[in-house]
Structure 1
Amino acid sequence: MSEEILAAVLNEAPGKLALETVRLDAPGPDEVLVDVHYAGLCRSDLHEIEGVWPASCPTVLGHEASGVVREAGDRVTGLRPGDHVVTCLSSYCGTCRFCLAGRLTLCARRGQLRARAAPVLTNAAGRPVHPTAGLGAFATAMVAHQHSLVRIPDTMPLAAASVLGCAVVTGIGAVFRSARVEPGATTAVLGCGGVGIAAIQGAKLAGASQIIAVDTNEARLKDALGFGATATVDASSTDSVEAVRELTGGGVDYSFEAIGFAATVEQSFAMLGPGGTATVLGLVPDSQPLTIRAAELFALEKRLQGAFMGANQFPTDIPRYVRFYEQGRLDLDSMLSAFVGLDELGDGFARMKQGGLTRVIADIRRHA
C-alpha cells in the first residue's frame, strides 16, 4: 500500500526546498521501506539546489542517511523490519563485470536497479517526483533497492551513522582503496569539510607520518588538528603548494582533493613529490578544464586519479568503519557540527555555505 509522507522537494533549480506531502509507493520485491531518522547535508545537494549541477525536478534530495527498516520486499535478503541501516548512493547489481571485479562504484547496471513500473514518489498533482540516487533521504520515509543499504548494529547511534554512507566511505575509501596509503607516507588533504575530515582520519588510520590539512577557513583548520592532521596550511593567506613542499621537503606522497574545483585539483597535483599520487574526490564541473604539466606527469611519474565515492565497497567497508568507531579509532561524533529539522534544511545549507562546519545533519523526525 502506498502512503503519504513529508518530504523536502526541490521543484525548480536554482530554487528552494519546500516541505510537501507526497505519496510514497509500496516497496517492490527487491526494495526496502525505511523510516529515515537522520540525513547529512552534502555539498552535492547544494550544487543541485543552486543549479550548478543539473537536477531532475521535482526531486527529493538527500543520499547520506540512517534509519530503520519498516518493510522488506519478497526477494530482499539480509534485511528485515527493525534493522538499523545506512544508505549509500553507489548501489550495485553484483553481476556485471565491474561488480564481479570488486569495483562496485562503477556498476554498469545501477540505473536498471532503480527502474520500476510506477514512480516511487508522486506529488499532490500526481506528477512523478525524482528521488535522488534512488534514495531521496530528505523525507520521513524512503523506498530504496536493497543494494543501496547496509545493516549496522542496533547499538550504533543513528546520528553518527548517518555520515558513514557518503562522507566517510568517500574520504576513508580514497585513502585505503584508491590511493592505498602505506604507513609512514606523507599526505595532504585539500578541503576540510566532511569528506576531507574523513580522509584525514583515514590517513591517520593508515599510519601516515605527515597529514597536512589545507583550507581557507581558520575554524576548519583548527578542527582538522583534532581529527589527526599534523600541520595546517591556510590557503587564503599563503601559496598552498609551496607551503606543502616546504613542510615535506619536496612534496607529498599522496594528496586528496575534497573540494571540486579545477584550481585545487591542479594544486593537489603540483604539491606532489616525484612518484606521488593525487586523488580527486570532488566533482569538478565540466566548465572548468584542468591544466596539468605533462613533464611532471611522465618524467616525475606523478599520477592523477579519480575516486568516485572513494571507490568503496560499502557492504564490507561500513561495518569496518562501525568497528573503528566502537573502538574509538574513528571520531564520527565530532563530525556532526549542527542539527536542523526537516523543515529547516534551507537554514542548514545556508550555514554550510558560511563555512567552518564539518557536517550539518538533518533530524528528519523533527519538523513543524
Structure 2
Amino acid sequence: MRAAVMEDQARPLAVRELRTADPGPHEVVVRLSASGVCHTDLHMLTGDLHVPVPAVLGHEGSGVVERVGAAVERVRRGDRVVTAAAGSCGRCFYCVRAEPHNCDEIAVRVTTPRFLGEGGVKLQGLAGLGTFAELMTVHESSVVPVRTDLPAAQLALVGCGVVTGVGAVVNTARVEPGMTVAVVGCGGVGQSAVQAAVLAGAACVVAVDPVERKRASATRVGASVALAPHEGLAAEVADLTEGRGVDVAIEAVGSAATITTAWELTRRGGTVVVVGAAAPAERVSLSADDIIHSRKTLKGSIFAGGDAQKLIPLIVRLAEAGRFDLASMVTRTIRLEEVGTAFADMRQGRVTRSVIVYGDGDGGPNGQEGGAR
C-alpha cells in the first residue's frame, strides 16, 4: 500500500510503498477513506515539532475497519471509524478520574511504530496513526466507530481539528449560555470553536483572523462579528462586551503573539484557553502583576480536553442534523500525490482544510472503495 513518508524535514513528503504491521491483540487495521491535512502535520514537516524520521504523517482521518486483533472489543470489521489521536487506557490515575486526555499510556501508544518499509525499516505514524497512508494499524482506542452517511472527507475532519476546537469550548472552557467568547485564529480548529460556542449558547462570539476569507467563513458558521487584528482590537472587543472584555478567549493559532492577544481580549476573572499547536521554543511573556490583579485563568487544551470517544459521535449527530457545518471547512479534496500542494496552500492561508481522498471515491461515505491493495 502507498503512504506519504517524511524522510527528513528538509525534503517534501515522498509517496512510498509500505506494509502495515499485523494487528496485535488490541489493534485494528483501518483502510483510510480520507485524511485532513492539519497544521500539526506542517509543524512536523518544518521541524517546529518533532517526530522521529522516517515517519508517516497525518492524524485526522476516516475509514473502515478491515482487520481486528484477537482481543479487540470496541470495533468490528466493517465499521466506519473516525480517528482519535489520544487513545487512552481507561485504567490509569487520570483515566479513572475522567481525564482520558491526560492518560499515562498516550505517550507509548502514539510512538509505537506500526509501518514497515523496505528492508524491514520501522516507521512511526504521527500520533499513533499515520493517515497519509491507504492502510494503517492502530490501537483500538485510537478510533471511534460511527454510524453515518456523512461524506468521508467531512468525517475525517472530526478526528482532530473539529473535536479539538469543540472540546476546547465545551470541555476545557466550559462555556455556558449567555457568555461572551473570542476565538483567535479561524482555521479548522477556530471555526469549530466558533460553532461550539454558538451551540453552547454564547451571547456574543467574536472571531479574530488576519485573513478576510477566514473571517467571512467564521461569520457564516455563526460568529457575531469577525475582526482583523489591529492595535485597537482589545478596546473594540471591550466595546462589544459592555466595557469588560470576553468571558472566554480560545487561542487557535499557537504563537506568542496570538496567545497575548487572547489574554488582552479577556475580562478580569475570565478564562484563556490555548489550543493552537506551538513550537517548544515559543515563549509567552505576561506581567506577573497582571496575572495577580487580572485574576484570569490560563489553560491549555489538547486531545479534545476530555473524552473524544464520547464527543466525536455527538459532533457527528449534530452534523447529520444540520446543526454543525463540516462541509464549509473542506476547501478542496486532493489525491495522496498532491499532499505537497496542500502544505503550500496552508502556508499561504488559502484553505481551511485540504482533504486527501483515497480510492476511486469523491470523499463520500463509500470513498474507501477501489483503493490500492
TM range (shorter): over 0.9
**CA deviation vs aligned residue, 1:32-59 (integer Å, no higher than 9, x gap):** 0100010011101001111221231100
Note the 1:23-62 alignment, pairs <5 A: 23-62=19-58
Report what 1:72 is aligned to: 68
Question: Does 1:102 find its partner at 2:95?
Answer: no
CA offsets per residue over residues 306-327 of structure 1, 9 Å max, x none?
A: 0112313111111111111111
Kindly provide the CA deviation profile for residues 254-281 of structure 1, in whole angstroms up to 9, marking residues without a partner as x. 0000000011111111111111100000
Q: Does 1:240 align with 2:239?
A: no
Structure 1 residue runs of 5 or longer lacking an equivalent are none
What is the Cα deviation at residue 125 of structure 1? 3.2
Residue 11 in 1 paired to residue 7 in 2? yes
1: CA distance between counterparts of 2:156 and 2:93? 30
Counterpart in the other structure of 2:81: 85
The correspondence of residues 104-253 of structure 1 with structure 2, limited to 5 A, is 104-113=100-109, 119-235=113-229, 237-248=230-241, 249-253=243-247
CA contact (8 A) 1:281 1:310 kept: no
1:10-67: CA deviation from partner (whole Å, max 9, x where unpaired) = 0001321000001211111100010001001110100111122123110000000000
CA distance in 1, matches of 2:22, 2:228: 50
Number of the residue aligned with 1:320: 314
Q: For residue 302 of structure 2, what is the aligned residue in structure 1?
A: 308
Match of 2:335 among 321, 335, 341: 341
Which structure would you say has the larger RCO, counting Cα contacts within 8 Å and 6 or more residues apart? 2
8 Å CA contact 1:13–1:55 kept in 2: the answer is no
How far apart are the structure 2 equivalents of 1:344 and 1:115? 26
What is the root-mean-square deviation in Å for CA atoms of aligned residues?
A: 1.6
The alignment partner of 2:94 has SS state of: helix
Indicate the SS of the match to 1:138: coil
- When the two structures are superposed, what TM-score results if normalisation uses the length of structure 2? 0.93
**TM value normalised by structure 1:** 0.94
CA deviation string 1:103-153 (max 9, x = no partner): 11110112334576xx52121232211111111110000000000011000
One-letter amino acid of the counterpart of residue 322, structure 1:
V
CA distance in structure 1 between the partners assigned to 2:315 and 2:8 by the alignment: 37
Confirm or deny that 1:332 pairs with 2:312.
no
Counterpart Cα distance in 1 of 2:218 and 2:193: 10
Gaps of 5+ in 2: 361-370
Alpha-carbon distance, 1:238 to partner: 4.7
2:153–2:333 contact (8 Å) kept in structure 1: no
C-alpha distance in 1 between matches for 2:334 and 2:354: 7
- Partner deviation per Cα, 1:206-240 (whole Å, 9 max, x = no partner): 111110010000111011100110001111x5543
Identity %: 38
C-alpha distance in 2 between matches for 1:140 and 1:239:
48
Q: Counterparts of 2:218 and 2:72 in 1: how far apart (Å)? A: 40
Deviations 1:149-190 (A, max 9, x none): 110004233221101111111101111100011111111000
